[in-house]
C-alpha cells in the first residue's frame, strides 16, 4: 500500500509539550475561561493534566463552540468575526495542532530531490554570517501554524545534517495577541524539536495587504499561507482572477529564485476554489503539489461537485485528544483530516529545479466508489449509459407472466479517480490505495 506521507514521523509529543507550556504560561485557567495573561507566568507543561476539572470544562466549551462555528457554516471568517480571536486557548489546544499537521502533510508530500528534503537545506541556505540561513515567511500566521509545520518538517529530516541552518522566520498577522502566541509557540516547539538550531523570529503586526505593498525585504526560500485565503477574500464573486493576481504576484515576488510558495486550506469546495484562483494566477510556475500537470483541472466545472483535496489519517491520541475527551467533555473525534493545498516553485518555465524534481505518475483525487460506468453515470467527456426499461415492467406491460427474479449482479470492484499527467481523469482499482486514498500519489501514469 502506498505510504501516507508523513505518517508516524510528525513530532506530536514535542508539539503537544510546546502547546501545553504556552497554554499554562500565557493564560490563566479559571471558572470564566482561559484568560489571556499579559505578563506570562512560568509553569511546567506537565501541569496541564493537573488542571482542575472546571478548567478542563471551560477549555472543552471553547473547543466545542469553535467546532460548531467552523462546521455550522454560518460564521463569516472575516477578521472581525474570526472565532480564533475570541477563543485562543481552545484554538491552541485543538485546531492549531490539526492545521500544523495538515501543512506538514503538504510539505512532506512535495517531490523533494533525494526524497527527504535535505537538498532544500543546501539549495536554500546561502552560507553567510556564522551559519547558513533558511529564510521563511508565514503570512496570516495566527498562532503560528505554517512556521510550526516548517519546524516539524525540518525536525524530521534524517539526523546528521552537517550544519543545521539558522531559521529566520517572518510572521505577519493583524492580530497582535495571536502574533504573540505564534512567537511563544515557536520558541517552545523549537526548544523541544530542534535543540541546537538557531531560530530568529521577526513579528509584524500589520495587514497582509500593507505588508505586501511595503518594501519589506524578500529573498525568502519559503512563503506559506495556512487557512488565510478566505480571509484575504481571494475569490471575488464570479471567480474573477483580478484579486488573486493582486495577492499572488507580490507574494511570488518575495521568493528567491527556486523558492517555494505553499498554500494550505480546508479540504472543502471553497478551499479548492480559492486554490484554483491562486493556481491560475501562479501558472506557468511549476506546480509541485497537488497537480501532476499544469493544464486545466479536470475536476473543474461551473458548479464544482467534486474537488481536489487530500484525506490524511489522524494518529490515535493526537496531541490532547484523549485528555480532551476524558476531562473536557469534547464529544467529537476526527479520525481523519481533509485538506487542500497548492505549492509552486518560483522558477521561470514549467519544470522544477533543485531542491525538487519533476514527479512522474498521477494523483488519486476521489474516495473509493462504484465505477461510474457500472452506475450508469456519464464518463467525463463521454455519454451517459442508456437507461433501459426494467425487465419486470416490460414483461408486465406485455401481459406475460412475471419472470423469475434476476439475481443481483456480482459486486463490481470499487474504483478511484486519478488525475493523470495528461490532465485527464482515469479510473483505477481502489484496493491498492488503502482506506484514505484521496491525495495518495500513484506511480502509474
Q: Residue 251 CB, nearest distance to ligand SAM (Å)?
A: 12
Residue 263 binds ligand SAM (CB under 6 A): no
226 binds ligand SAM (CB under 6 A): yes
Distance CA 212, CA 111 (A): 28
Q: Which is nearer to ligand SAM, 175 or 437 (CB)?
A: 175
60 is a site residue for ligand SAM (CB under 6 A) = no
- Residue 139 or 276: the one with the smaller Cβ distance to ligand SAM is 139
64 binds ligand SAM (CB under 6 A): no
User: Binding of ligand SAM at residue 232 (CB under 6 A)?
Assistant: yes
Nearer to ligand SAM by Cβ, of 134 and 263: the residue is 263
Tell me the closest approach of the beta carbon of residue 300 to ligand SAM, in angstroms: 25
> Considering beta carbons, is residue 181 or 344 the nearer one to ligand SAM?
181
Q: Which of 106, 155, 194, 228 binds ligand SAM (CB under 6 A)?
A: 228
CB of 186 to ligand SAM, least distance (A): 12
CA terminus-to-terminus distance, the chain: 17
Q: How far apart are CA 153 and CA 125, in angstroms?
A: 16
**Cβ nearer to ligand SAM, comparing 93 with 416:** 93
With contacts defined by CB under 6 A, name the span among 78-86, 268-276, 371-379, 382-390 that binds ligand SAM.
78-86
Enter the DSSP assignment of 436.
-
Q: Specify whether the CB–CB gap between 230 and 274 falls below 8 A.
A: yes
Q: Which three cell numbers stand for residue 98?
A: 490539526
Binders in 168-197 for ligand SAM, by CB under 6 A: 173-175, 178
Q: Which helix (H) or strand (E) holds 265?
A: strand 255-266
Distance between CA atoms of 172 and 231, rounded to whole angstroms?
14
Which range touches ligand SAM (CB under 6 A), out of 53-61, 205-213, 297-305, 335-343? Answer: 205-213
Q: Which residue number places its CB atom closest to ligand SAM?
A: 142
Instruction: Calculate the CA dihedral of residues 17, 178, 271, 370 and round it to 10 degrees.
Output: 20
Report the alpha-carbon distance of residue 72 to residue 89 in Å, rounded: 20
Q: Output the smallest distance, CB 94 to ligand SAM, in A.
A: 11
CB of 413 to ligand SAM, least distance (A): 38
Which residue in 145, 247, 291, 328 binds ligand SAM (CB under 6 A)? 145
**Set of cell numbers at residue 376:** 450508469
| Least distance (Å) between residue 229 CB and ligand SAM | 9
Among 84, 125, 221, 287, binds ligand SAM (CB under 6 A): 84
Give the residue ranges of DSSP H helices in 109-241: 118-124, 145-155, 176-193, 208-213
What residues does 313 pair with on adjacent strands? 336
Interface residue with ligand SAM, options 55, 99, 345, 362 (CB under 6 A): 99
**205 Cβ neighbours under 8 A, 6+ residues apart:** 173, 174, 175, 176, 179
Min dist CB 232 to ligand SAM, Å, is 6
Distance between CA atoms of 205 and 53, rounded to whole angstroms? 35
Strand duo 255-266 + 336-345: pairing: antiparallel
Task: Name the pairing type of β-strands 133-139 and 166-173.
Answer: parallel
Smallest distance from the beta carbon of 178 to ligand SAM, in angstroms?
5
Site for ligand SAM in 238-257 (CB under 6 A): none
261 makes contact with ligand SAM (CB under 6 A): no
**Residue number with CB closer to ligand SAM (141 or 440):** 141
Residue 223 dihedral angles phi and psi, to the nearest 5° = -125, 130
Distances (CA, A) of 45 to 19, 41, 49, 172, 417: 8, 12, 9, 27, 45
Separation CA 206–CA 208 (nearest Å): 7
CB of 9 to ligand SAM, least distance (A): 21
Is residue 96 part of the contact set for ligand SAM (CB under 6 A)? yes
* CA-based nearest residue to 279, from 383, 401, 206, 265: 265
Q: Which of the residues 309 through 338 are near ligand SAM (CB under 6 A)?
A: none
Write out the binding residues for ligand SAM, residues 115-144 only, by CB under 6 A.
Answer: 140-142
Cβ proximity to ligand SAM, 277 vs 417, nearer residue: 277
What DSSP string describes 24-55? HHHEEEETTEEEE-SSPPP--GGGGGGS-HHH
List of E strands, 334-398: 336-345, 362-364
* Number of amino acids touching ligand SAM (CB under 6 A): 22
CB of 357 to ligand SAM, least distance (A): 28
Positions that interact with ligand SAM (CB under 6 A): 79, 82, 84, 96, 99, 140-142, 145-146, 173-175, 178, 207-209, 226-228, 231-232
Amino acid at each position: 500500500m502506498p505510504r501516507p506521507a508523513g505518517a508516524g514521523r510528525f513530532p506530536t509529543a514535542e508539539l503537544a509539550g510546546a502547546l501545553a507550556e504556552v497554554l499554562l504560561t500565557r493564560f490563566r485557567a479559571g471558572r470564566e475561561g482561559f484568560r489571556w495573561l499579559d505578563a506570562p507566568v512560568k509553569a511546567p507543561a506537565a501541569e496541564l493534566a493537573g488542571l482542575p476539572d472546571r478548567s478542563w470544562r471551560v477549555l472543552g466549551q471553547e473547543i466545542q463552540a469553535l467546532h460548531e462555528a467552523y462546521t455550522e457554516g454560518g460564521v463569516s471568517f472575516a477578521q472581525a468575526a474570526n472565532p480564533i480571536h475570541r477563543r485562543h486557548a481552545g484554538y491552541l489546544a485543538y485546531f492549531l495542532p490539526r492545521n500544523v499537521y495538515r501543512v506538514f502533510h503538504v510539505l512532506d508530500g512535495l517531490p523533494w530531490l533525494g526524497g527527504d528534503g535535505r537538498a532544500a537545506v543546501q539549495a536554500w541556505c546561502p552560507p553567510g554570517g556564522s551559519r547558513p540561513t533558511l529564510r521563511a515567511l508565514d503570512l496570516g500566521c495566527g498562532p503560528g501554524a505554517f512556521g510550526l509545520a516548517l519546524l516539524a518538517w525540518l525536525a524530521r529530516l534524517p539526523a546528521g545534517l552537517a550544519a543545521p541552518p539558522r531559521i529566520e522566520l517572518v510572521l505577519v498577522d493583524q492580530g497582535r495577541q495571536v502574533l504573540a502566541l505564534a512567537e511563544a509557540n515557536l520558541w517552545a516547539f523549537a526548544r523541544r524539536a530542534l535543540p541546537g538550531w538557531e531560530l530568529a523570529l521577526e513579528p509584524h503586526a500589520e495587514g497582509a495587504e500593507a505588508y505586501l505593498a511595503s518594501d519589506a525585504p524578500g529573498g525568502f526560500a519559503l512563503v506559506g499561507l495556512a487557512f488565510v485565503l478566505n480571509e484575504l477574500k481571494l475569490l471575488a464573486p464570479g471567480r474573477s482572477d483580478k484579486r488573486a493576481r493582486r495577492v499572488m504576484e507580490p507574494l511570488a515576488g518575495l521568493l528567491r529564485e527556486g523558492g517555494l510558495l505553499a498554500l494550505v486550506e480546508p479540504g472543502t469546495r471553497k478551499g479548492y476554489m480559492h486554490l484554483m484562483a491562486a493556481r491560475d494566477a501562479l501558472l506557468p510556475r511549476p506546480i509541485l503539489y497537488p497537480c501532476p500537470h499544469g493544464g486545466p483541472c479536470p475536476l473543474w466545472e461551473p458548479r464544482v461537485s467534486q474537488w481536489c483535496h487530500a484525506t490524511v489519517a489522524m494518529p490515535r491520541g493526537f496531541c490532547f485528544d484523549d485528555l480532551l475527551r476524558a476531562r473536557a467533555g469534547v464529544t467529537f473525534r476526527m479520525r481523519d483530516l481533509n485538506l487542500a493545498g497548492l505549492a509552486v516553485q518560483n522558477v521561470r518555465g514549467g519544470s522544477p529545479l533543485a531542491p525538487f524534481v519533476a514527479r512522474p505518475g498521477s494523483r488519486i483525487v476521489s474516495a473509493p466508489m462504484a465505477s461510474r460506468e457500472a452506475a450508469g453515470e456519464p464518463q467525463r467527456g463521454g455519454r451517459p449509459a442508456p437507461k433501459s426499461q426494467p425487465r419486470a415492467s416490460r414483461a408486465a406491460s406485455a401481459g406475460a407472466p412475471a419472470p423469475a427474479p434476476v439475481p443481483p449482479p456480482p459486486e463490481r470492484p470499487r474504483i478511484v479517480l486519478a488525475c493523470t499527467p495528461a490532465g485527464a481523469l482515469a479510473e483505477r482499482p481502489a484496493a491498492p490505495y488503502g482506506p484514505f486514498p484521496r491525495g495518495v500519489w500513484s506511480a502509474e501514469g
